[in-house]
Amino acid sequence: MKFAILINEGPYQHQASDSAYLFCKAALAKGHEIRRVFFYHDGVNNSSALTEPPQDDRNIVVRWGKLAEEHKVDLVVCVAAALRRGIKDDNLAAGFRISGLGQLVEAGIEADRLVTFGD
């Protein structure tokens, strides 16, 4: 089955990004496809390359990038929401790309299920 994921909150402040990540990992382990993960609202902050968590904490940003690399998951950050919050190509973490909201709609059309994680 093809899944699309929408993440509406940033890392560390809310559990949304962690829950979404663990959902994606479980779905991939079961042989499902993650068609796209779309980052909207404060969710765009998951893509900041400037993020530096303490050593003993999980690195949410890097973790998403690795998942994208290993499983060819398309990580898309909404351009309008990103620019509002100071995320640009200059500080975009590896594995993410910035694009329009149309990518969310397209994912909703193409995937069998769209699952949202937020506050």
Partner 1 sequence: MSEGAIKKFMFVNRKAPYGTVYALEALETVLITAAFDQDVSLVFMDDGVFQLKKGQQTKGIETKNFSPTYRALDGYDIEKLYVEQESMEARGLTEDDLLVDVTVMSRADMGKLMEEMDVVLSC
Partner 2 sequence: MLHIINKSPQERNSLDSCLRVTQSGAVLLIEDAVYAATRGNAAEAKLREAMGSLKVYALGPDLDARGMSDRLIDGVTAVDYAGFVDLVAEHPNCQSWL
Active-site residue, selected from the candidate residues 78, 93, 111, 114: 78
Q: Does 24 participate in catalysis according to the annotation? A: no
CA-based angle 92:75:5, to the nearest 5?
135
Contact status: 99 vs partner 2 (CB under 8 A):
no
Phi, psi dihedrals of residue 35, rounded to the nearest 5°: -65, -40
CA 4 – CA 36 distance, rounded (Å): 5
Phi, psi dihedrals of residue 94, rounded to the nearest 5°: -60, 140
**Residue 74 binding partner per list partner 2, partner 1, none, with a CB distance cut-off of 5 to 8 Å that depends on partner kind:** none
Contact status: 1 vs partner 2 (CB under 8 A):
yes
CB of 113 to partner 2, least distance (A): 5
Looking at residues 44 to 103 of the shown chain, list those that interact with partner 1 (rule: CB under 8 A): 80-81, 100-102
Which residue of 12, 32, 74, 108 would you call a contact of partner 2, by CB under 8 A?
Answer: 32
CA 62 – CA 49 distance, rounded (Å): 8
CB of 1 to partner 2, least distance (A): 5
Q: Is 9 helix (H, G, I), strand (E, B) or coil?
A: coil
CB of 56 to partner 2, least distance (A): 17
